[in-house]
Amino acid sequence: MNAKDINALARKTKEASRRLALLDTKTKDRALVAMSAALKSRASYIMRENEKDIALARKRGLSSAMIDRLTLTRQRITSMAGSLAQVARLKDPVGDTIETIKRPNGLLIKKVRVPIGVILMIYESRPNVTSDCIGLCLKSSNAIILRGGSEAIRSNIAIFNVLDKEAVKYDIPQGAISMIKETDRKIVDGLLAQEGVIDLVIPRGGESLIRDVSKKSRIPVIKHYKGVCHTYVDASANLKMAEKISFNAKVQRPGVCNAMETLLVDKKIAKAFLPPMIRRFKNAGVEIRGSKEVKKIVKDVRLATENDWYTEYLDLTLSIKVVDGVDEAIRHIMKYGSYHSDAIVARDSSRAAKFLNEVDSACVYLNASTRFTDGEEFGKGAEMGISTDKIHARGPMGLEELTSYKYIIYGNGQLRR
């Protein structure tokens, strides 16, 4: 694809987005249900294509964790189909009146939800992202251009082929869903220059991919670079609960952005809390990197470096620091964190309120695991991604976050004085 092809694709998608914006909910839902069924009935074809990606990944020596993420089993395809059916059942946000303003001069102003337009999704590895994002965009009447990672290209194309064919059969405008099938990196640069045609870019994947997209894009980008999530155990905490929450936040699935990377412990309860906690972590294979104060209490841990506090391990590794109460915990999180998801475990309500109020993260938790930062867990059905930005959307992005709004003003001859 050269620059002209890219512009033509973007314009064609914009055209389709105009027609998609006018589609009624029933038509969209019917298409989603049919697409869900098609995924299941074409599972063998998708798995065959997926096997080719996996074979290449093995040849390239990708880690077993990476290969696991890439792999599509029949069960995983069924779950993708389930997500599409679930999105069909969610409320359509398009056309919702957000606010009605009546003015003294008789003007009636309605603030109404509309689709954003054309969304460019740039992502890596997990092929289920392909169907999740197609589903959310279709339901919110946004046209989508998908650009997946080369490691999953055959799987992504297979999923796209099945879904797009079905969508068009069920009256979704041709071109509303499209996929870049070439892996040339220059195509991404070309797409990121389509300001005014593509309306929003959502990158999902490793930090370097996201930084690269943000740097080059002339189009608004919504993203999170990384998730350095904290759990702070206050002196007032139920220590048994704190242990369970911390363990869950680190160990239940360490390779994801909402997993805990740093545990902060109030010095008043550090001696009581840390020995059994660290023992439990070690039994689960977690490597601990502790501050000096941690090492004084549990000798057998590696000393954390300054850099560790900034690090998203995405693995069974954990930084632990002893802090002097909630104020130092907040300062630490604001300095080293990534404003993604941070938790306090406490019974003292004023210290809890201080933490929830002053930690400027997308999601702040009281007495729960940070692992809940997720579109489905928030009741949004699925998610396009998670944002740590302050503009437009923050936290898990579902259907509503894929809308903009317009003002419709009804008059009867009003003139400005």
Q: Which residues bind a second copy (CB under 8 A)?
A: 18, 21-22, 101, 103, 107, 109, 114, 116-117, 199-200, 214-215, 218, 220, 222, 238, 241, 244-245, 248, 252-253, 334, 356-358, 360-369, 371-373, 377-379, 389-392, 394-395, 404-417
**β-pairing verdict for 395-397 and 385-387:** antiparallel
Minimum distance, C-beta of residue 410 to a second copy, in the bound complex (Å): 5
Rounded to whole angstroms, the Cα distance separating 67 from 53 reads 9
Of 377, 113, 109, whose CA–CA distance to 253 is shortest? 377
Nearer to a second copy, 23 or 46 (CB): 23
Rg (CA), the chain: 24
Does residue 263 contact residue 366 with C-beta atoms inside 8 Å?
no
Nearer to a second copy, 138 or 343 (CB): 343
Nearer to a second copy, 67 or 193 (CB): 193
Minimum distance, C-beta of residue 183 to a second copy, in the bound complex (Å): 27
Minimum distance, C-beta of residue 89 to a second copy, in the bound complex (Å): 16
At residue 162, the 3 state secondary structure works out as: helix
CA angle 407, 411, 413 (to 5 degrees): 140
Minimum distance, C-beta of residue 256 to a second copy, in the bound complex (Å): 10
CA–chain centroid gap for 205, Å, is 9
Minimum distance, C-beta of residue 272 to a second copy, in the bound complex (Å): 18
Does residue 311 contact residue 228 with C-beta atoms inside 8 Å?
yes
Of 167, 177, 173, 165, whose CA–CA distance to 137 is shortest? 177
Does residue 329 contact residue 344 with C-beta atoms inside 8 Å?
yes
Nearer to a second copy, 54 or 229 (CB): 229
Rounded to whole angstroms, the Cα distance separating 384 from 180 reads 18
Nearer to a second copy, 149 or 398 (CB): 398
Nearer to a second copy, 159 or 386 (CB): 386
Minimum distance, C-beta of residue 295 to a second copy, in the bound complex (Å): 28
